[in-house]
C-alpha cells in the first residue's frame, strides 16, 4: 500500500546513493518528501531531489510557514528514513536538537524512524557515536549497522552506506510491520542466520553442491535487521547483495560453515540454520583437475559432514532459541517431526522443494514445527512473509525466557 515517506539526507558523499533509493521508493508508488540538511546540498542539489520526488524540497522550517512543515511532515509520515545518517545527524537527533527542518521532523515523527549511518570507520567507532546510536535505539529508532567496504579515498572498513536496493528492502520490511515497527521487538538481540548452499570440492574446478540460492536465509537476515536485531549472516556461495544492517561472513564448505556458526552462536540469543548443508563431502580432494582417461573413473569415496544444527542445539545456552530448516520432497510432516526430534532444536521450518518450489524462487511455503508439539502453517507467499512468521515465533520464545 502506498505510504507517505520522509527521506532525510545527511551531509555525506554517500548522498548520491539516496537518489537511487528515492527512485525505487517512488516507482513503488510511495509519496516521498526529501528533507536534506543544508550541507548535504553540497553533494546533491535541490533540483535533483525535486525532480526525482515530484515534491518541493527545502531545508528550512521557515519556508512555507503557513503549512507548519516542521510539525506536519513528521505527523503525516508513515516512515522517516535517514540515509545517509552522518555522525553529525546522529548526534543532533540523539540530543533532541531542532535546528533545521530534518531534525524538527525527527522530533515530531510518531512513525517508525530508520537511520542508515555512513561515515568513516573512526567516526563510527568513536565513543560519542556509539553512545548516540545506543540512545536512539533505546528510544525505539532503528539504526542499521553500516556495511564494510571502500570508503572515501583509499580508506576501507565499516561505515559504508549499504547499497540502495538493500536500503529499499529495509524500508519495505519496516513499512510492512506498520505500527509494530514503532517498537522493534528484536532490539538488543543478537541473532545468527546461515544462508546458501555449501560446496564440497572434488578438485580445483568441481564440487558437490545443491540448488540453494540463499534467498530465504537473506530474507530472514533482512527481516531480523528491520526488527532491530544485531544480525550476523553466515553466507555460503550466494550471488546476492549484503542485506542492509547485517554483518556478513562468507564460507564455502560445510566444515567452514560449522566453524563460523559455532563461533557466532556463542554470543547469540537466537540462531537460524537456513543454509542447505551438503550431507557428504569427498574423502579426498585432488590437487589437480581430474581428467578423463578413457578408462572407468575411480569410485568416489564420500564421508559424512557434521550435523551442524544438531551440534548447535546440543550446545545452546539457557534461553537461547535454535531454529532450523528441513527441505523435503515427500511426507513433509512425518519427516519433519522425525527431524525435529533428532536435531533437538526449538523450531524446524519444513518446506517442500523441487519442481519450481523454494529453491531459486522469491516465494516459499512451509510448516513451522515446534518442540512443544505445535505447528504453524505458512501458505505460499514471499519469503519475507515466512521470515516474519519465524521471527514472531522466536521473539515469543525469547520473551518467555526473560
How far is CA 369 from each of CA 113, 265, 320, 345, 350, rounded to the nearest angstrom? 34, 22, 17, 10, 7
CATH number belonging to domain 4-182 = 3.40.50.1950
Mean confidence (pLDDT) of the chain: 93
Cell triple for 229:
536485531
CA pair distance 320, 155, nearest whole angstrom: 38
Longest pairwise C-alpha distance within the chain: 87
Question: What pLDDT does 354 receive?
Answer: 62
Residues 6+ apart with CB under 8 A from 379: 365
Given a cut of 70, whether residue 312 has pLDDT beyond it is yes
Compute the average pLDDT of residues 290-301. 85
pLDDT digit string, tens, across residues 198-236: 999 999 999 999 889 999 999 999 999 999 999 999 999
Q: How distant, in Å, are the alpha carbons of 64, 192, 220, 307, 361 from that of 324?
A: 54, 12, 12, 11, 19
- Interhelix angle 164-177/15-27, rounded to 10 degrees, is 50
Query: Quick check: 183 pLDDT over 90?
Result: no
**What residues does each domain of the chain span?**
4-182, 190-400
Stretch 160-164: mean pLDDT: 96
**CB neighbours (10 Å) of residue 35?**
28
CATH topology agreement for domains 4-182 and 190-400: yes
What pLDDT digit, counting tens, does each position of 27-66 carry? Answer: 999 999 999 999 999 999 999 999 999 999 998 776 666 6
Instruction: Give the number of other Cβ atoms within 10 Å of residue 209's Cβ.
Output: 17
Q: What is the CATH code of the structural domain delimited by 190-400? A: 3.40.50.10300
Catalytically active residues, by annotation: 210
Amino acid at each position: 500500500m502506498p505510504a507517505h515517506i520522509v527521506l532525510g539526507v545527511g551531509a555525506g558523499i554517500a548522498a548520491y546513493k539516496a537518489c537511487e533509493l528515492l527512485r525505487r521508493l517512488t516507482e513503488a508508488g510511495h509519496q516521498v518528501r526529501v528533507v536534506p540538511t543544508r550541507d548535504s546540498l553540497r553533494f546533491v542539489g535541490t533540483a535533483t531531489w525535486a525532480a526525482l520526488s515530484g515534491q518541493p524540497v527545502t531545508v528550512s522550517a521557515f519556508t512555507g510557514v503557513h503549512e507548519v512543515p516542521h510539525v506536519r511532515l513528521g505527523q503525516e509520515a508513515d516512515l522517516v528514513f535517514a540515509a545517509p545518517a552522518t555522525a553529525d545527524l546522529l548526534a543532533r537527533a540523539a540530543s533532541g536538537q531542532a535546528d533545521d527542518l530534518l531534525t524538527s521532523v525527527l522530533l515530531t515523527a510518531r512513525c517508525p524512524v530508520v537511520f542508515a549511518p555512513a561515515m568513516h570507520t573512526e567516526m563510527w567507532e568513536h565513543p560519542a557515536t556509539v553512545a548516540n546510536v545506543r540512545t536512539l535505539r533505546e528510544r525505539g529508532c532503528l539504526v542499521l549497522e553500516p556495511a564494510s567496504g571502500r570508503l572515501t579515498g583509499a580508506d576501507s572498513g565499516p561505515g559504508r552506506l549499504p547499497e540502495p536496493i538493500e536500503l529499499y528492502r529495509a524500508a519495505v520490511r519496516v513499512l510492512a510491520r506498520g505500527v509494530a515497527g514503532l517498537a522493534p521487538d528484536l532490539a538488543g538481540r543478537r541473532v545468527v542466520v546461515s544462508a546458501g548452499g555449501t560446496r564440497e570440492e572434488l578438485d580445483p574446478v568441481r564440487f558437490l553442491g545443491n540448488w540453494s540460492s540463499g534467498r530465504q536465509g537473506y530474507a530472514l537476515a533482512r527481516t531480523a535487521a528491520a526488527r532491530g536485531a544485531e544480525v550476523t549472516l553466515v553466507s555460503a556461495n550466494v550471488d546476492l547483495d549484503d542485506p542492509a544492517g547485517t554483518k556478513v561472513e562468507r564460507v564455502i564448505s560445510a566444515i567452514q560453515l560449522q566453524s563460523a556458526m559455532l563461533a557466532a552462536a556463542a554470543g547469540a540469543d537466537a540462531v537460524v540454520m537456513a543454509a542447505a548443508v551438503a550431507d557428504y563431502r569427498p574423502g579426498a580432494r585432488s590437487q589437480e583437475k581430474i581428467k578423463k582417461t578413457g578408462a572407468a573413473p575411480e569410485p568416489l569415496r564420500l564421508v559424512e559432514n557434521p550435523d551442524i544444527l544438531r551440534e548447535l542445539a546440543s550446545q545452546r545456552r539457557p534461553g537461547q532459541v535454535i531454529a532450523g530448516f528441513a527441505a523435503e520432497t515427500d511426507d513433509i510432516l512425518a519427516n519433519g517431526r522425525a527431524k525435529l526430534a533428532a536435531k533437538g532444536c526449538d523450531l524446524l521450518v519444513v518446506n517442500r522443494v523441487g519442481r519450481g518450489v523454494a529453491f531459486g524462487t522469491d516465494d516459499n511455503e512451509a510448516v513451522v514445527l515446534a518442540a512443544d508439539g505445535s505447528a504453524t502453517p505458512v501458505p505460499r507467499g514471499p519469503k519475507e512473509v515466512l521470515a516474519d512468521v519465524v521471527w514472531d515465533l522466536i521473539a515469543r520464545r525469547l520473551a518467555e525466557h526473560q
